[in-house]
Amino acid sequence: MSNQSLQLFSMVPLMRAAEKSSLAGKHAAIGAFNVNFYTQAAGILEGLRRADSPGIIQASRGANKFQGGPDKIQAMILQAMKDANHTLPVSLHLDHGNEEQAPICVDEGFSSVMIDASTLDLPENIALTKKIVGYAHPKGVSVEGEYGKLAGVEEDVIHESTTYADPFLVPYFFNETQADALAVAYGTSHGPNKGAKGGLEKLAVWVVEKSYKGMTAYKQNLDHFLVSHGSSTVPQEIVAEINAQGGNVQGAAGIPMHTLQEAVKAGIRKINIDTDLRLGITATFRKYFNDNPGIEKTSSDILAPIKKALDEKPEAIDPRDYLKVIDIAHLRNNPAGTVLEEVMVLVQERVAAHVEMLVHKFGSAGLAGQVENISLSEMAKNYK
């Protein structure tokens, strides 16, 4: 199976399958998981396979830069799919793209892009989102926008507090831009510190509910979909594991699973997960070095710098912070047969298990066979 024969899907048929399942009484959303290196992608794919679930693999602008460009990310994802013989529906999505990066990712083989114009006033947001839609849709590539402001930091987008989306304007946003998906601000937040201890117990799920009802009234719900950003659950047992292994992660709290499930019932069809995977990967690396004292001496150019970076950054949870110290090409390829193989086997399993659990909770397990097999070229024709 060559990379050329591998198919990446627009997000639309994946989220449409989730919408149809929800209309039939089994509420569902598609999990969207951020990726930075090969083994993380392999773990995501394995978790999806175990659950027979479609899924979205996301790369932020930071991830694209980390790996040397979106072409490197796209090739890495296709290689991971080829190595795993992964044939379930997968989208490759640019997370929090801007006006410059979104068209580049369209040209470099991503099957979906986000344009985050949430810092702009609504008319300017709509205009820029519409511009990206005009560039992406002729190539069959789906587009996600953002409306409202989510508190926290995501790449270089910083909001001090949340500004809820106005649900009465959500159908208008879709109508004006023809975007396929929209991240609506309803109280979630980016990063590992999402609010009070134990997470945000009560979000403004009514924003999702009223937005979805409006979309349904205008018959938009089978072609346009709502997205939940900043939705990591931040398992406290993983935070505790990191700290027990020499880390120092303080104040970490996520979104309770029952709250996310309420949002899915209210109309969310895509849920973004990033921090959960970062935490799990970091816990795995720390435990590996503690369980194998002196192992770093076997590889002074790879394992030793990683361990040194972790020792010097007890607060680190982002793998890019301690993996950037090595040649990134090592992280772009299958680690089998290298000094990274042993730890990466553990990382892949950690990621796979968490992804499998989440997609079951999100209701998308078993939906892979319900996704319409439509190519990007066919999507392009449908958009016309």
Q: What is the pLDDT of residues 250-267, one digit of tens each?
A: 988 888 999 999 999 999
pLDDT of residue 194: 47
Model confidence band, residue 158 (pLDDT cutoffs 50, 70, 90): very low
pTM here is 0.93
- Measured CA to CA, the distance from residue 142 to residue 200 in angstroms comes to 30
Listed in sequence order, the residues at least 6 apart from 8 whose beta carbon sits closer than 8 Å to its beta carbon are: 77, 78, 90, 91, 92, 109, 110, 111, 376
State yes or no: pLDDT of 239 exceeds 70: yes
Q: Rounded to an integer, what distance in angstroms lies between the CA atom of residue 189 and that of residue 242?
A: 22
- What is the model's pLDDT at position 1? 46
Token digits of residue 350: 């950690």
Tokens linked to 123: 């008319």
- pLDDT band of 103, cuts 50, 70, 90: very high
Higher pLDDT, 161 or 211: 211
- What pLDDT is stored for residue 155 in this prediction? 54
Lowest mean pLDDT among 34-38, 242-246, 299-303: 299-303
Q: How far, in Å, CA of 156 to CA of 240, rounded?
A: 28
Q: 3-275+354-383 belongs to which homologous superfamily?
A: Aldolase class I (3.20.20.70)
Confidence of residue 154 (pLDDT cuts 50, 70, 90): very low
Which of 52, 95, 180, 301 is flagged as catalytic? 95
331 pLDDT exceeds 80?
yes
Q: C-alpha distances in angstroms, 250 versus 66, 125, 239, 315, 317?
A: 26, 35, 8, 8, 11
The yes-or-no verdict on residue 309 having pLDDT over 70 is yes
Contacts of 270 (CB under 8 A, 6+ apart): 11, 15, 18, 29, 30, 32, 56, 144, 181, 225, 226, 227, 228
The reported pLDDT for the residue numbered 3 is 55
- Residue 368 to residues 56, 230, 353, Cα–Cα distance (Å): 12, 25, 18
- Segment 166-182 shows an average pLDDT of 96
For the chain, give every domain's residue range. Answer: 3-275+354-383
The pLDDT assigned to 174 comes to: 98
Q: Reply yes or no on whether the pLDDT at 143 is more than 80.
A: yes
CB atoms inside a 10 Å sphere around CB 174:
26
- At residue 140, what is the residue type? G
Res 25: pLDDT? 98
In this prediction, residue 185 carries a pLDDT of 87
The predicted structure's pLDDT at residue 198: 40
Grade residue 152 by pLDDT with cuts at 50, 70 and 90: very low
| pLDDT tens per residue, range 16-45 | 999 999 999 999 999 999 999 999 999 999
Tell me the average pLDDT across 47-58: 98
pLDDT at position 199:
41
pLDDT value for 231: 83
Share of the chain above pLDDT 90, in %: 83
Distance CA 180, CA 226 (A): 9
pLDDT, residue 157, reads 44
Q: What is the pLDDT of residue 160?
A: 43
Query: How far is C-alpha 119 from the geometric centre of its chain's CA atoms?
Result: 21
Helix (H) or strand (E) holding 22: helix 11-23
Residues 6+ apart with CB under 8 A from 273: 31, 32, 33, 34, 231, 232, 358
- Give the pLDDT mean for 109-133: 96
Given the structure tokens 């296709």, which residue do they identify? 78
Mean pLDDT of 137-156: 78
**Is 95 one of the catalytic residues?**
yes
Region 115-130 average pLDDT:
95
**Residue 142 CB neighbour total at 10 angstroms:** 29
Q: What is the pLDDT of residues 272-297, one digit of tens each?
A: 999 999 999 999 999 999 999 999 88
**Which DSSP letter does residue 8 get?**
P
Q: Which residues contact 151 (CB under 8 A, 6 or more apart)?
A: 159, 160, 161, 162, 189, 190
d(CA 383, CA 368): 23
Assign 337 a pLDDT band (cuts: 50, 70, 90).
Answer: very high
